Structure 1
Amino acid sequence: MKRFSFLIVTTYALCTFHLQDVSAFSTSFPMTKVIQSKKFSLSASDNDSSVESLREEIESMKREALEKLNALDDKVSSLPRESPISTTVKDVNENEYINDTKKLEPIEIDNETETEYMNRRLKERMAVSNDPEFSPMKLMMNTRDEALLDGSKWKLSLDIGREPGTWMPSDWGISGERLKLDFECEFTGNQLYEREDFLGSMGDAKVLQVMDSKLVLSPSITEGSREIAVKNGGWRVAKGRGPNGSDILRFYIEIEEEIKRKSDSSDVYCPAGRIYLSCGFFNMKRPSNGEKSRYKKRLDDLITRAEELDEEIANAGFFEKFGKNAEMIRLKVEMQDTADRFRGASILEPDSSILKFTPTGEAAITKVGGVCCKVIKGVGVEYHILGRFYCQASRNQ
């Protein structure tokens, strides 16, 4: 049907085009050209009368063509579905299909993100399945990355001390002294019913349980270890808030007293109250988009070509060096761009050496994270760096 409708429109356009050409003629134009068609002719001697005749002829031809095409269109529409005129893809010769561009459909650019694609596929599968595994509630749970951390237990070691860029007082930790604080916690699946700006949305926040409600200050030369009471906190995965749109795991604990060495010379302390921690979070079930490997291969190829080109420049003649040096400049620019893209892709697909995995291996977090405290300045809020932390999955899962 679409094909015959297209023929109707094409016939009408051609007829209109010829009519416009003829209407452009005037008696003041010295016409010597003779226009001929299947049913009529026009010469310079009978210009005005022939124009009217030509218009009538065209209208008649147009009506006749439309009637024939409509009749043919109706006839084809009435054919049975199994008629020889209908052809499946399997009936078409492969080479003929590839070489005939009229049969090829244009490829649309796919702007669908990976998350959108996975969600759409799950919804499509759920729509045609009676399997309880694809119920709406199960679908919602499967699309929440933070569920992969539910119930996982971790051992954390806080390394409190002066870090570059901290906004802590200028005399805080200037001696280089560090406080080592250890505790174990569980990222529970229980809803946190308390608002905390550091976590963001309360609806996605969950309870962080500190084992035995304590952390341990490691011993030093002058004093032994000490236990400090600590309250449970909360945690949440901040989607897309990290570098290059990566995910961040944010959580906090609440310390009941200021932590400091008993020595009078100590210049570093951990303030009482909530201590905030953050690190990278990665869903290891999410398929790779392959960008990291593609940029890595491209970068290796560019480095190999640069080494070859360096030798060619050394052996090239005076004038030949100009062209090869220009190529080397372009090569270095592309190498820098590819290296930047590779680093960006490496943030989203980090090497396993910088990660610590859940017991199931379905999720991972970076083994080093940041520690900070909240400071109220007037009506504003600042987060001052206290140090960093190291983590590993607890053996007591």
Structure 2
Amino acid sequence: MAKIPVFLLHLLLLIDGHAFAPLPSVSSRRVVALREGTLPSDNDTTTNIRQDIEAMRQEAMQRLDALSEQMEDLKRENQCYHEQESNHYVSTARTPTASAPSSTALGSMKDKVPAQDIPVSELTTNSETSSKQLETDNILKSHTSKALESKNTLPTTSKPRRLDLLDNTRWKLVFNIGRETGTWMPAGWGASGKRLCFQVVADLSSDPLYDTEDFFHGSSGGKVLNVKDAFVLPHGNVGRRPVKVKSTGGYKVVAGQGPMGTDVVRMYVELEEAIFAGGNKELYCPAGRVYGTCGYFPMESFQHNLDQPGCKDACAREYHAVLREYEVLQASMQEDSRVFALEKIKMMKTLYDKKRQLQDTAKRLQQARQREPERAQLRLSRNGDVALSREGGVCCKVHKGLALEYHILGRMELGSIDVRNEHDEYEDLVHGLHP
């Protein structure tokens, strides 16, 4: 047996003594701490606990922020996926030569999509609604593209847009002044609800207007408006009163500036003094230029829209179909007396979606009616080649520092009258005196 050196034996004994020495107890450590004065106080313990709680709170907030960012990323990815799927379905429905999916693809789709019990009536309704929606969208896009092409491109083979059909025509303009929704006039102006009506008879000439006007959106294209007569309409015990107005004004046909890309007529007459509603100082029409705007519809293009079924008819059909479906769902909801039921919750969700669809369809129908108005909403010229909208808006210009504002004054009504020269009027007067 080999002998162990003496210094190794001393080293082993030293290690064994330190390894197996008994640890001091908690009480002994507390006594030592008390003797040394290092025992933490209650205030220090409370401070440490608060610091730990604050650190854990900050860590929790950081984790919540990271989780919210992950949820936002997930929502964006899901939205992009649904948009890609919807675009794929629309392109497939619009392509007539699309090939049918193979049996392998159908099998994979069945594996990915969970089976659900969908009623046949719901499938039929959804398919009919989607087809109607698709048809309306196609018509809307075709009309929008045609309007953009006619607005942004120069006509080559087609006839140019006629903007001179109002030349040498006479119109009666009835200004109905009063407080309207959205006006920027003072709060007390027209607060009583009274109205001020005055009439202007004007000839729309073909002479160019050399006066610049910001309301016309450009200095070119303006023409002279000759005022023939102006008076306040009789009201109550107040008879007809003349209006002091300058003999010349201006008008311009602006292409593509109306609703849905329609043409509008902008005009103005200049009052030499303010007009008050009888003895009421609350309602008045300020002195200066009074501006009016109305729609401009050449009858050649308007008749073309009437001959061919367009966007308005498709929107009207879709609106009435969605309205019937909404009324049926609403009646079913009222008849269902259950308070908490899964089917009723699904029906409420369907009713809400149908209401949103009805609102969107009504908005598109309103836009289509603005582009293709009814005959009752138009006033034809004496030649019958152009029509203006029956009603229009009236405003005035207000300067506020460097800013320029147009405040709504009310509305106006238009009507075409015959242009008669002074010789014809003299002959009528002579025949009236000496029949």
TM-fit CA distance, 1:347: 1.4
1:231-253 Cα offsets, whole Å, 9 max, x none, are 21111122232333333211001
1:298 to 318, 325, 338: 318
- The CA RMSD over aligned residues, in Å, is 3.5
Match of 1:274 among 267, 289, 292: 289
Distance 1:357 1:113 in 2: 25
**Contact kept in structure 2, 1:177 and 1:267, CA below 8 Å:** no
**Contact 1:191–1:204 (CA<8 Å) still a contact in 2?**
yes
Q: Which of 243, 248, 266 lines up with 1:232 in the alignment?
A: 248
User: How has the CA–CA distance of structure 1 residues 294 and 233 changed in structure 2, closer, same or farther, with 3 Å as cutoff?
Assistant: same
| Alpha carbons of structure 1 residues 303 and 164: separation in structure 2 relative to 1, 3 Å | closer
Other-structure match for 1:113: 146
* Matched-pair contact (CA < 8 Å) for 2:382–2:418: no
SS of residue in 2 equivalent to 1:267: strand
Q: Shift of the alpha carbon at 1:187?
A: 2.0
User: Tell me, what secondary structure is at the counterpart of 2:249?
Assistant: strand
- CA 1:245–1:120 in structure 2 vs 1: closer, same or farther (change >3 Å)? closer
Larger Rg: 2
For 2:149 and 2:408, the matched residues in 1 are separated by 36
Give the secondary-structure state (helix, strand or coil) at the position aligned to 2:157: helix
Structure 1 runs not aligned, ≥5 long: 1-97, 102-108, 126-141
Q: 1:332-351, aligned counterparts within 5 Å?
A: 332-351=355-374
Aligned to 2:407: 384
Give deviations 1:37-81, integer Å, cap 9, x for gaps.
Answer: xxxxxxxxxxxxxxxxxxxxxxxxxxxxxxxxxxxxxxxxxxxxx
Q: 1:304 to 1:240 in 2, by over 3 A?
A: same
1:394 to 407, 417, 424: 417
Q: Distance in 2 between matches of 1:366 and 1:185?
A: 17
Structure 1 residue 325 displacement after superposition: 5.7
CA separation in 2, counterparts of 1:220 and 1:322? 58
Aligned position for 1:178: 195
- Length-normalised TM-score, structure 2: 0.54
Are residues 1:244 and 2:260 paired? yes
Contact 2:195-2:277 at 8 Å conserved across structures: no
Task: Map Cα deviations across residues 1-34 of structure 1 (whole Å, 9 max, x no partner).
Answer: xxxxxxxxxxxxxxxxxxxxxxxxxxxxxxxxxx
Alpha-carbon deviation of 1:324?
A: 5.8
Helix, strand or coil at the partner of 2:363: helix
Structure 1 distance, partners of 2:154, 2:183, is: 45
Q: Structure 1 residues 121, 252: closer, same or farther in 2, change over 3 A? A: closer
Alignment check: 8 A CA contact 1:309 1:324 kept: yes
Contact kept in structure 1, 2:147 and 2:261, CA below 8 Å = no
Is 1:200 aligned with 2:217? yes
Opposite residue 166 of structure 1, the aligned amino acid is: T
Moved more, 187-196 or 237-246: 237-246
- Going from structure 1 to structure 2, the CA distance change for 1:324 and 1:245 (only over 3 Å counts) comes to same
* Residues 1-397 of structure 1 aligned to structure 2 (within 5 Å): 112-114=145-147, 116=149, 123-124=156-157, 143-211=160-228, 214-230=229-245, 231-260=247-276, 263=279, 265-286=280-301, 287-288=304-305, 290-307=310-327, 327-396=350-419
Deviation at 1:148, TM superposition (A): 2.1
In structure 2, the CA distance between the partners of 1:232 and 1:293, relative to structure 1 (3 Å rule), is same
* Preserved CA contact (<8 Å) 1:119 1:143: no
Aligned in 2, Cα 1:380/1:303: closer, same or farther, shift over 3 Å?
closer
Secondary structure of the corresponding residue to residue 156 of structure 2? helix
- SS of 2:176's partner is strand
Deviation of the 1:122 alpha carbon: 6.3
Q: Kindly provide the amino acid, as one letter, of the partner of residue 295 in structure 2.
A: G
Q: Secondary structure at the match of 1:146?
A: coil
Match of 1:113, SS state, is helix
> Residue type of the partner of 2:276?
K
CA shift, 1:215, in A, is 0.6
Instruction: Tell me how far 1:345 sits from its aligned partner.
Output: 1.2
1:309-366 C-alpha deviation (Å, 9 max, x unpaired)? 5677769x97766666655444433333222211221111122222212233332222
